[in-house]
Amino acid sequence: MTAIARSWNGLSDRNPLVQFVDVCLRGPAQVVFQNNPLSGLLILAAVAWGAFENGQPRVFGGAVVGLLVGTVTALLLRVDRASWRKGLFGFNPVLTGIAVPTFLDHRPLMWLYLVLGAAATTVLTLALNNVFKRWGLTAFTFPFVLTTWFLLMAAYQFDRFSVLTKLTPKFPGGGDITRGSFDWGLLPSFLRGVSQVFLIDSWVSGLLILVALLINSRWSALFAVVGSVGAILLALWFGADATSLEKGLFGFNAVLTAIAVGAVLHRPGVLVTAYTLFGIALTLVVQMAMTTLLTPLGIPVLTGPFNVATWLLLLPDRHFAPVPHHERVEDGVASAVRRSV
Amino acid sequence: MTAIARSWNGLSDRNPLVQFVDVCLRGPAQVVFQNNPLSGLLILAAVAWGAFENGQPRVFGGAVVGLLVGTVTALLLRVDRASWRKGLFGFNPVLTGIAVPTFLDHRPLMWLYLVLGAAATTVLTLALNNVFKRWGLTAFTFPFVLTTWFLLMAAYQFDRFSVLTKLTPKFPGGGDITRGSFDWGLLPSFLRGVSQVFLIDSWVSGLLILVALLINSRWSALFAVVGSVGAILLALWFGADATSLEKGLFGFNAVLTAIAVGAVLHRPGVLVTAYTLFGIALTLVVQMAMTTLLTPLGIPVLTGPFNVATWLLLLPDRHFAPVPHHERVEDGVASAVRRSV
Amino acid sequence: MTAIARSWNGLSDRNPLVQFVDVCLRGPAQVVFQNNPLSGLLILAAVAWGAFENGQPRVFGGAVVGLLVGTVTALLLRVDRASWRKGLFGFNPVLTGIAVPTFLDHRPLMWLYLVLGAAATTVLTLALNNVFKRWGLTAFTFPFVLTTWFLLMAAYQFDRFSVLTKLTPKFPGGGDITRGSFDWGLLPSFLRGVSQVFLIDSWVSGLLILVALLINSRWSALFAVVGSVGAILLALWFGADATSLEKGLFGFNAVLTAIAVGAVLHRPGVLVTAYTLFGIALTLVVQMAMTTLLTPLGIPVLTGPFNVATWLLLLPDRHFAPVPHHERVEDGVASAVRRSV
């Protein structure tokens, strides 16, 4: 395995085409904080599986187009080459590429909109990382989130697009929540909580993504499971909507928070785990709050709650003295768009 | 008096338990920018009075629990000790502790939610002060405001919580405003405008809070009155809703702006008073605008308008040359969570 | 011409009254990034023409009052004199002065509201430029936008004001968009796209504003036309609302983005033009998104979309290596409220 990896890396250094493929593959892996082309390949396979399983092959097509357009736009804008090679300019456009065909109806103009959106995602990646680096933070997946919110809200004003989010814009508080109750049929939902990171509703895809994490970082795989299970159980306890719960929709933001706070940006340990569990609860509350905030606008929260919660958890970081090897955090978030992986 | 104060301070330096009590008492006082345990004790008494008068003793219980949880969380996160001793990590959680039982129905799970919220308030105190210190500002009461907005908006999505804000989410502009007119029966409303800083609707509590201000800073007490009277009269003139006016709901944000801008962060004087009067009008306009903004979401403005208006008034401060002893401002807002009191 | 200009400038240096007139005239010109009193005079004439043509002379009165109050407030707050002399403290209040009588009904109290709003605009000009200079940006017209949003949203809560935006607050997605189709009758709309920068619906005013641009900067005039035509054609293609299209309402934000990105803050060229065309599309999408966002609140987007899109386009600027004479950008946006014109 290591021999193959080494020869791939060597080939990637010499051959520009292989390098481009390598960079594109690292993009999907960077969504879940992994810098590994094989993980990225597995995740692309997971997206393909989910797209075909749900009868929406165009979602996989969108992922590939978004990834290519975003990565090429970054080249045209002459971004920092080292960050580019790590796939840090691929993970946001690939998500935009998945979101546009998921939430808009299928017609030729949608593809132009997707290409414009993927290019805009790269511009916003540069813009927002410039904003957040003032506090030693990165923009995470927020360039994708903001671009997709813009695209969907704009689509409501255009006759040539139809928004398919299945969200009815309405005021909060109708008392129409159907509470779920625990039974073992909920097990696939924990895996769907992982696949929903990529807007995919499929436990098989969730399993594939966990494998993609496992081959690069066991801590990341473990905390992904902890995040999904923790948030879904808490949502169940507080009486959240049963249908969304089953689809894993209360898990995916906590999955990302748990990987970021518990496994990647801090050295895993008891105190960090306690802080991460608190972070999972915070992410759920922020997600539910953003659901109330965005429902009148008819747009989904996407991974916005993960971004907000994780920024809030990282901002006090210098006060979080008990974290051993604090300097890894500095490494991880100090420069504009680099994460220590 | 001074002798008692001196011996209390000495005791507080030596005895950790007395110190903890001292720090907890300074929390409620710091809401109104006072660093004085006796002021804090009087304010806690005012909250207790209002809670029992309105038949909601759990509101006082929430204040105490929020204060304790927030202050202990700050210790666990090893915050700056000097700031902690001034009560600067107590004033936001005590407000969250009052808000949760005020706006959510009474059931055991509410207390867990309150504890989670108070801990989150301390994390947000660190996070938001880190954000705002880039402009020489502090986060004021915004950690409480943001946490409570998150908690209430999230509660709408949970079957196990009911939101009791008595706000019907709706679009602006229904023409259903009942204008008030001036009569001397409005006098208690000016005092309610002070008590509403702590979400309490009671003129007795307002009076107690004014006494709490008076024993520490006469200028603060004076500007609190100016803020409440000024904003309520302006709201009356512009034709604001009579019911809210009577409850003092158009006064409390201006009370805080007036204390901050007129008495604490600048040296009181003619020019500063003129700027403060302008600031009171600005605070009222921002409050009414935020009411329109938040009504569709079914959440109250809390002290958000004070925060927004005061940041806007302080941001141009270096241009405000006529202010004598300008350096006091620098002292007051330069470091992360310290205010010159 | 140059001789007259030279003698005017000399007179303006010696005579305080002439200087004040000169500064006031530069304000309207700075809205479209021109530092030229004659351009400002032409623009004021364009506003007057539009106001009288539409039977709303009070709109022109508001422009003059807003300009005077804002410029004098800046003097009282002792702002940077060099910035003040360039009209950089006039261009936001003049817009607030136009917006208030446009969107509120006519009554004496409206004029007090306008004066308060114009003074607040100057405070916000100082405040927001202090915020944005951390990223080498200026606040552009956002002080006007934010102040006017505050004033209008607050007006909904006051019985003594009526909001006349003709916007019915509602949820997005009613399928009630009437698509336009191209015919040559659309030509005046391109000019209205220019006049709408100043909230004026008149092709004559648009033509006057283009002349005002032309006498100071041909590139600015050219890019204003490109912005208006480009955004309106794209809106037509995507199927935007025909009535708003005809009034030029999809053009004015792109006009400002195109002047800023294409002509003023970069040296015009092929790559910059490509980036500007992308920026025009981005501005349209952001404008439509903000329309969805603000419709439930019953307030117009104003020039908010231009501000948001242009910040996003400028933030990654240091990565935009192909731009020749990159240092002009630094000059243009480096200091708080100075633009290189």
Give tens-digit pLDDT for C3-21. Answer: 888 899 999 999 999 999 9
Q: Which of C109, C150, C294 to mutate to test the interface with B (most CBs of B within 10 A)?
A: C150
Residues of C with CB under 8 A from a CB of A: 134-135, 171-173, 177-179, 237-241, 278, 281-282, 284-293, 296, 311-313, 315-316, 318-322
pLDDT at residue C140 in the model: 97
Distance CA C2, CA C7 (A): 9
Q: How far apart are CA B335 and CA A314, in angstroms?
A: 19
CB B107 within 8 A of CB B100: no
| Mean pLDDT, residues B105-130 | 96
How wide is the angle at C-alpha A96 spanned by C-alphas A95 and A99, nearest 5°?
Answer: 85
Range C117-122 average pLDDT: 98
pLDDT of residue B322: 39
Q: How confident is the model at residue A317 (pLDDT cuts 50, 70, 90)?
A: low
Residue A169: which of B296, C236, C291 has the closest Cα? B296
Report CB contact under 8 Å: B154, A315: no
Report whether pLDDT(B339) > 50: no
d(CA A318, CA A170): 41
A9-164 to CATH, choices 3.30.70.260, 3.40.50.1780, 3.20.20.70, 1.10.3430.10: 1.10.3430.10
How many angstroms separate the CA atoms of C110 and C269, rounded? 46
Domain B2-334 annotated CATH 3.90.76.10: no
Going by the DSSP 8-state scheme, the letter that residue C295 receives in this structure is G
The confidence score (pLDDT) of residue B290 equals 98
Residues C275 and C317: their CA atoms lie apart, in Å, by: 11
In this prediction, residue B176 has a pLDDT band, given cuts at 50, 70 and 90, of confident
Q: What average pLDDT does this structure show over A218-228?
A: 97
Taking 90 as the threshold, does the pLDDT of residue C256 lie above it? yes
- Is A341 within 8 Å of A175 (Cβ atoms)? no
pLDDT of residue C317: 67
C170–B171 CB contact, under 8 Å: yes
Confidence tier at B1 by pLDDT (50, 70, 90): low
Q: Which of A130-134, B326-330, C120-124 has the lowest mean pLDDT?
A: B326-330
| pLDDT surpassing 80 at residue A287 | yes
Name every residue whose Cβ is closer than 8 Å to that of residue C270 and which is 6 or more positions away in sequence. Answer: none
pLDDT higher than 50, residue B289: yes
| Contact across the interface for B278 and C159, Cβ inside 8 Å | no
Tell me the mean pLDDT in the region C260-282: 93
Q: Which residue has the higher pLDDT, C183 or C327?
A: C183
More confident residue, A184 or C284: C284
Residue B83 has pLDDT above 50, yes or no: yes
Please give the biggest Cα pair distance in chain A: 61
* Whole-number percent of chain C with pLDDT over 90: 80
Cβ atoms < 10 Å from Cβ of C7 = 10
Range of lowest pLDDT (B177-181, C229-233, C304-308): B177-181
- Chain B positions with Cβ closer than 8 Å to C: 134-135, 171-173, 177, 179, 237-241, 278, 281-282, 284-293, 296, 311-313, 315-316, 319-322
B236 in Cβ contact with B180 (< 8 Å): yes
Are A91 and A141 in contact by the 8 Å Cβ rule? The answer is yes
Q: Give the Cα separation of B187 and B233 in Å (integer).
A: 11
Q: How confident is the model at residue A327 (pLDDT cuts 50, 70, 90)?
A: very low
**Chains contacting B (3+ CB pairs below 8 angstroms):** A, C
Reduced to 3 states (helix: H, G, I; strand: E, B; else coil), residue B241 is: strand
How many residues does the structure list for chain B?
A: 341
Residue ranges of chain A whose CB lies within 8 Å of a chain C CB: 77-80, 109, 116, 119-120, 123-124, 126-128, 130-131, 134, 149-161, 163, 169-170, 296-298
- C-beta atoms of A282 and B79 within 8 A: no
* CATH class of the domain at A170-334: mainly alpha
The closest of B56, B310, B88 to B199, measured between CA atoms, is: B56
**Dist. CA B172–CA A53, nearest whole Å:** 44
A341: pLDDT strictly greater than 70: no
User: What's the pLDDT score for residue A244?
Assistant: 94
pLDDT at residue B254 tops 80: yes
Nearest to C78 among B287, B315, B319 (CB): B319
- Given a contact cutoff of 8 angstroms between Cβ atoms, the answer to whether C249 and A157 are in contact is no
Indicate the SS3 state at residue A136. coil
The 8-class DSSP code of residue B302 comes to T
3-state secondary structure at position C31: helix
Subunits with 3+ Cβ pairs within 8 Å of A are B, C
- Residue A285 pLDDT: 98
Distance from CA of C240 to the nearest CA of A (A): 5
Please write the tens of the pLDDT for every residue from C46-102.
999 999 999 999 999 999 999 999 999 999 998 999 999 999 999 999 999 999 999
Q: How far is CA B324 from CA B267, B272, C75, C127, in A?
A: 7, 9, 18, 20
Identify the residue whose tokens are 């804002």: C70
The span from the CA of C79 to the CA of C336, in Å, is: 11
Which of the 8 DSSP states describes residue A215? T
Residue with tokens 């606040």: C139
Give the CA diameter of chain C: 61
Residues of C in contact with A116 (CB under 8 A): 281, 285
Q: What is the mean pLDDT of residues A114-143?
A: 96
The verdict on a CB contact (< 8 Å) between A173 and B116 is no
Q: Can you give the pLDDT at residue A179?
A: 86
Chain B residues with CB inside 8 Å of A304's CB? none
- In angstroms, the separation between the Cα of residue A297 and the nearest Cα of chain C is 6
Q: Which of B134, B238, B270 to mutate to test the interface with C (most CBs of C within 10 A)?
A: B238
Query: Residues of chain A whose C-beta is under 8 A from some C-beta in B?
Result: 134-135, 171-173, 177, 179, 237-241, 278, 281-282, 284-293, 296, 311-313, 315-316, 318-322
Res C330 pLDDT > 70: no
Tell me the shortest Cα–Cα distance from C132 to chain B, in angstroms.
10
Query: Beta-carbon neighbour count of residue A53 at 10 Å?
Result: 13
User: Do the Cβ atoms of C121 and C149 come closer than 8 Å?
Assistant: no
Short-list C310, C303, C337, CA closest to C125: C337
pTM: 0.93
Two structure tokens written together for A310: 């994780």
pLDDT attached to residue C269? 86
Query: Which residues does chain A have within 8 Å of residue B157's beta carbon, measured at their own beta carbons?
Result: 172, 177, 240-241, 288, 291-292
- The CB density around residue A252, as the number of other CB atoms within 10 Å, is 31
pLDDT score of B325: 35
Binning pLDDT at 50, 70 and 90, where does residue C266 land?
A: confident
Distance (Å, rounded) from C-alpha B296 to C-alpha A151?
Answer: 23
Q: Considering only CB atoms, which residues of chain C are within 8 Å of chain B? A: 77-80, 109, 116, 119-120, 123-124, 126-128, 130-131, 134, 149-161, 163, 169-170, 296-298
Cα–Cα dist C233/C284, whole Å: 11
Mutate to test the interface with B, among A238, A272, A313 (most CBs of B within 10 A): A238
With cut-offs at 50, 70 and 90, classify the pLDDT of residue C1: low
Q: Would you state the pLDDT for residue B335? A: 33
Chain B nearest CA to A295, separation (Å): 9
CA B183 to chain centre: 28
Residue C335 reports pLDDT greater than 70: no
* Average pLDDT value over all residues in chain C: 90
Rounded to 10 degrees, the C-alpha dihedral C57/C62/C67/C72 comes to 130
Model confidence at A320: pLDDT above 50? no
d(CA A304, CA A145): 6
Residue carrying the six token digits 């809200």:
A153
**What is the per-residue burial (b if ≥16 Cβ within 10 Å, else e) of C110-132?**
bbebbbbbbbbbbbbbbbbbbbb
Closest Cα partner for B312 from B338, B327, B340, B290?
B290
For the segment C182-202, what is each residue's pLDDT rounded down to a tens digit? 888 899 999 999 999 999 999
The pLDDT, as a whole number, for residue B332 is 29
- The better pLDDT of the pair A82, A323 is held by A82
Residue A136: closest CA among A318, A14, A271: A318
Assess contact for A77 and A122: CB atoms under 8 A: yes
CB contact under 8 A, C292 and A297: yes
Give the confidence band of B167 by pLDDT, cuts at 50, 70, 90. Answer: confident
Give the pLDDT of residue A175: 64
CA angle B5, B9, B10 (to 5 degrees): 120
Percent of chain B's residues with pLDDT above 70: 92
Counting one residue from chain B and one from chain C, the pairs whose CB atoms sit within 8 A come to: 101
Calculate how close chain C gets to A74, using CA atoms only, in Å: 10
* Helices of type H across chain C: 2-14, 16-31, 37-53, 57-76, 81-85, 91-103, 108-132, 142-155, 187-195, 203-214, 218-238, 242-246, 252-257, 270-294, 304-314, 327-334
Distance CA B118, CA A48 (A): 43
